Amino acid sequence: MALQRNVILNDTYQVRHLMASSELAIVYAGRDRNTGAKVAIKEFFPQRLAARQADKRGVFCSSRGFSGQYQELLAAFLVEGELLSTLNHPHIVSYVDHFEENDTGYLVMEYCTGVTLTEYLIERNHALDAAFITETLLPLVDTLDYIHKQGILHRDVKPSNIMVMEDGTPKLLDFGSAARWPVQSGEKQAIFTSAGYSPLEFYSEKSSQGPMSDIYSLAALLHYWTCGQPPMDVKQRLFRDELPSVRSHNEYVNRWLARVIHWGLSVRSEQRCASLAWVKRSLQVQAWMWKIRKPGTVEWVLAENEHTQVYEAEPKKQHETA
């Protein structure tokens, strides 16, 4: 299924080895023959629709009657390259090139070394400390604010789409679901959903989308960080929303951050937190509190609602991922 080692693409990029694959694409480690730089090469290859030609390079739609869907998905893949090429931010994976070849599409990006946020949190028992907030989460919030100001929605914010570098800083990956906003009247955009992380409006092409949509996904990510699991999927909360506060899972989260997370997870977009400034400020307060006392220490200091209370708290094991 994957391209063979040393295949040359666009007369420039040499395929070295397979890195990862998903339902829609294959990612290779590669090399720019002009500069010698390592690159990541993403090849459009929807597994349910595509097959490799006999020459082991070309790609074709192998499912009869689905060529239209194949072309729509390919067009969306190429849009990812176009959008990424307009962004320049230290916490977004850098664009190198994109092109069509072998009857499919390719996106070339910087080669990043790190681990996904999912892996990072598992390794560090969910990193409930001030350093994680200041080094990883606050830069992530600023990154989302940046892309929104460029008129772009990411639409797939989740732990597996964030890489944490060796210095703890984040890299936002996978703009395959990204789209311009506001959406022009009558314009159709492919919608991809992730259970637990996608807001209700992602399940309908007619629903209004905006920064509040990414804020929902960010709040779901914060839920995963504080509780060890994503929130109940929005479709299960449509008629009866009884999502508990993250404080019911983790007493070390301050009330303000807990409320902002809950607000960001509102089912109805018009009732949801619409500003990243609220998220940023609540995280800053949480970081300040954890600098005073780290969760799990004997004296646990909470400053909430204009009062300061000191609790005797036994060290406890943080939640692990399900």
- Residue 114 — very low, low, confident or very high, per pLDDT cuts 50/70/90? very high
Q: Check residue 64 and give its pLDDT.
A: 82
Does residue 155 carry a pLDDT above 60? Answer: yes
Q: How far apart are CA 158 and CA 103, in angstroms?
A: 31
Does a cis peptide bond (omega within 30 degrees of 0) precede residue 159? no
Q: How far apart are CA 267 and CA 271, in angstroms?
A: 8
Q: How far apart are CA 40 and CA 247, in angstroms?
A: 40
Mean pLDDT, range 32-43, rounded to an integer: 98
Mean pLDDT, rounded, of the chain: 89
| pLDDT tens column, 283-303 | 999 999 998 876 654 344 333
Q: Which CATH class is domain 115-292?
A: mainly alpha
Q: Check residue 184 and give its pLDDT.
A: 58
Q: For the chain, where are the E strands, in sequence order?
A: 8-9, 13-21, 25-32, 38-44, 50-52, 59-61, 95-101, 104-110, 115-116, 152-153, 162-164, 170-172, 179-180, 299-304, 307-312
Does residue 139 carry a pLDDT above 60? Answer: yes
Give pTM, 2 decimals: 0.88
- Residue 314 — very low, low, confident or very high, per pLDDT cuts 50/70/90? very low
Q: Residue ranges per domain, the chain?
A: 8-110, 115-292
Task: Please name the amino acid found at residue 118.
Answer: T
CATH 3.40.190.10 matches 8-110: no
Does residue 183 carry a pLDDT above 80? Answer: no
- Residue 311 — very low, low, confident or very high, per pLDDT cuts 50/70/90? very low
| pLDDT tens column, 54-96 | 999 999 999 888 899 999 999 999 999 999 999 999 999 999 9
Q: Check residue 321 and give its pLDDT.
A: 38
Mean pLDDT, range 25-50, rounded to an integer: 97
